[in-house]
Amino acid sequence: MHLMQGVGRGFLTRHKGRGRNPQGRDGYVAGIGGVLMVTAKDFLGQWTLQRTIRDHLQGQHGTLEGQAVFAATDAAHLTYDETGTLTLENGARLEATRQYLWAFTPNAVVVSFDDGRPFHQFVPAGHAAGTDHPCGDDFYTVRYDFTLWPEWTAVWTVKGPRKDYVSTSTYHPR
């Protein structure tokens, strides 16, 4: 197992093999300061998605089980298509979908809504804080964790007069 230092914060990124990621793809490239980053090619394909949502404002919690699919539109652009079933504590079950566009630049991934409006960006390596996203009076903050690649997580904290929740999504390759 190789240990790679994460994005300027002293965190470790782990991957197995000689120059190949655990999925057997040659996708890692040297990024900022020689840190190895996950590339667009590494995200391609189907991922199992598990999400927990802790709504502190409404006191309602839920879990989502589903999948995320990354498909290439070209070498540096992916579509993200998520489908799943959200189960609330009261037993209610809802079908959920969302789509995003991911653009890989030399130093970051720029995420847009499916209609092209900007959402946030992040560096796909180690522990990565994404850029914040204000939405009306609500404020969205995200932290990604790629240290156990190919498993990775995204934790969204949302605060505002109408929202107060934490959503933790964990992805595993299928």
In a domain, residue 94? The reply is yes
Q: How many domains does the chain have?
A: 1
In a domain, residue 117? The reply is yes
| pLDDT tens for each residue of 48-94 | 999 999 999 988 999 999 999 999 999 999 999 999 999 999 999 99
Q: For 35-68, b where at least 16 C-beta lie within 10 A, e where not — what string?
A: bbbbbbbbbbeebebebebebeeeeebbebebeb
In a domain, residue 11? The reply is no
In a domain, residue 131? The reply is yes
In a domain, residue 24? The reply is no
| pLDDT tens for each residue of 136-161 | 999 999 999 999 999 999 999 999 99
List the CATH number of the domain containing 89.
2.40.128.20
In a domain, residue 19? The reply is no
In a domain, residue 32? The reply is no
Domain of residue 75, residue span: 43-173
Which 3 state secondary structure label does DSSP give 39? coil
Record the pTM: 0.80
Q: Output the six-digit token pair for 140.
A: 């969205």
In a domain, residue 28? The reply is no
End-to-end distance of the chain based on CA atoms, in angstroms? Answer: 22
